[in-house]
């Protein structure tokens, strides 16, 4: 599968906790773990401070659209230049880009669908969730603490409470 990813559209989607804080480099790393023929992560504009100028991994390309240019415009140009656009999947929730990609024969995947795939890819890199026996159970207040709070709050105590 060949992917063109509207990077900031995807990264600004609601992420599950396992993917919280995902950035351009992290996205590239996760995509490298997948089985994609080609993955191009397309960012709006130019490289920003503290962001990578290039993908940190082989097999995934990180591209900036250029000064004053959107990732959407870059993706549309790429689709127009490709003789096999029907083999490309565009990842975005942007309605206009989705429509434009479809009109050029490309497939479209929502950010939500891609996030689910990324969760699967990240699964092998995430720590195993704790089991119920690993988690300390909430004990609550003991009777002495309950009585102290009742006294502190001025609540009456019943004979049964003692």
The domain spanning residue 30 has which CATH number?
3.40.50
Residue 159 covered by a domain:
no
Domain count, the chain: 1
Residue 151 covered by a domain:
no
Residue 49 covered by a domain:
yes
Q: What number is the average pLDDT over the span 13-40?
A: 92
At 10 the pLDDT is 97
At 126 the pLDDT is 47
Report pLDDT digits (tens) over 102-156: 999 999 999 999 999 999 888 755 445 445 554 455 556 677 777 877 887 888 6
CA 7 to chain centre: 10
**Under 8 Å CB-to-CB from 29, ≥6 apart: which residues?**
56, 57, 60
Range of the domain at 72: 2-123
| pTM, entire model | 0.74
Q: What is the dihedral of CA 117, 120, 125, 131, to 10 degrees?
A: 140
Asked if 75 and 42 count as a contact pair (C-beta separation under 8 A), the reply is yes
């Amino acid at each position: 599968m060949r992917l063109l990813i509207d990077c900031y559209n995807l990264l600004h989607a609601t992420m599950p906790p396992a993917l919280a804080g995902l950035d351009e480099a992290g996205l590239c790393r996760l995509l490298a773990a997948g089985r994609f023929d080609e993955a191009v992560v397309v960012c709006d504009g130019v490289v920003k401070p503290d962001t990578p100028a290039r993908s940190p991994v082989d097999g995934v390309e990180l591209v900036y659209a250029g000064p004053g240019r959107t990732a959407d415009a870059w993706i549309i140009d790429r689709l127009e230049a490709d003789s096999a656009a029907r083999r490309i999947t565009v990842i975005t929730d942007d309605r206009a880009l989705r429509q434009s990609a479809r009109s050029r024969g490309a497939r479209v995947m929502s950010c939500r669908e891609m996030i689910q795939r990324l969760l699967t890819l990240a699964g092998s890199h995430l720590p195993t969730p704790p089991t119920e026996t690993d988690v300390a159970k909430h004990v609550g207040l003991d009777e002495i603490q309950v009585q102290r709070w009742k006294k502190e709050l001025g609540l009456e105590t019943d004979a049964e409470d003692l």
